[in-house]
């Protein structure tokens, strides 16, 4: 992994959440990782909305405040 990549925001998404009972998921968490850790399932759509929200928030925080777009002028 390159140093530049390490500086970018990230989160951890555990997939196949439908195969792991909720009461057993805590054993998969990585306590040394101070980032969001989410369980998601494509089959049941579990956690997908939370994943999208977390990604949206990470992008917004990384970009910083956005300028108001100016209208295009030829």
Q: Where do the domains of the chain lie?
A: 8-63
Q: Which residues make beta-bridge pairs with 63?
A: none
Percentage, residues of the chain above pLDDT 70: 95
**pLDDT per residue as tens digits for the range 45-69:** 999 999 999 998 888 888 877 667 7
**pLDDT tier, 33 (very low <50, low <70, confident <90, very high otherwise):** confident
The answer to pTM > 0.75 is: no
What the block records as the tokens of 65 is 């405040």
Two tokens at 33?
């990782």
DSSP secondary structure string for all residues of 5-71: HHTS---EEE--GGGS-GGGGGGG--TT--S-EEE--TTT-TTHHHHHHHHHHHHHHHH-SPPPPPP
How confident is residue 2, by pLDDT bands cut at 50, 70 and 90?
Answer: confident
Rounded to an integer, the average pLDDT of 10-34 is 92
Sign of the alpha-carbon dihedral angle for 50, 2, 62, 67:
negative
């Amino acid at each position: 992994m390159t140093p530049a990549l390490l500086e970018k925001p990230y989160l951890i998404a555990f997939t196949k959440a439908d195969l792991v009972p909720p009461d057993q998921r805590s054993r998969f968490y990585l306590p040394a990782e101070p980032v969001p850790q989410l369980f998601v399932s494509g089959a049941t759509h579990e956690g997908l909305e939370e994943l999208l929200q977390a990604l949206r928030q990470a992008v917004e925080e990384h970009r910083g405040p956005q300028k108001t777009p100016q209208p295009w002028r030829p």
